[in-house]
Copies of this chain bind each other. A is one copy, B any other.
């Protein structure tokens, strides 16, 4: 009766679903003393190995200052280390420390379980349907793209 437009309904549902899953993911990250953004950084380093801060920025959809900030904090926690790039003196790598590597492995495995449970209302098949629809929604947007995503992520 209220919301007539299907697009509007979709936007609303998207917000609620995102909030719901976020709260689970965030709660789990917090149990390990991490923000979701920090977890994303650690995850990116785990997947891709050492990354320049700029690359990290693109992988995690965070601002330039945000990347510096996050690496600062993870460095303070002893999970990440900076390493200057030999080929380009402006550039800096973020690298997992041994401790960081160990911790992030455990955490990511747990994280998968958390997400899986949070999505358990949908069968795997419907999860895939939803994923496909959401990708179509996200990828075909006109413009204003500040962050380049690697298509094979």
Q: In terms of DSSP, what is the predominant structure of the interface of chain A? A: helix
Question: Smallest distance from the beta carbon of A118 to chain B beta carbons, Å?
Answer: 6
- Chain A: interface residue total (CB-CB under 8 A): 58
Instruction: Kindly state the separation between the CA atoms of A25 and B144 in the bound complex, as whole angstroms.
Output: 11
Given A115-B7, A133-B122, CB of A146 within 8 Å of CB of B13: no
Interface centre among A8, A14, A110, A116 (most CB of B within 10 A): A14
Question: Do A140 and B127 touch across chains, with their CB atoms under 8 A apart?
Answer: no
Which residues of A does B touch, CB under 8 Å? 1-2, 5-11, 13-21, 23-25, 27, 47, 61, 110, 112-122, 124, 126-131, 133-142, 144, 146, 149, 152-153
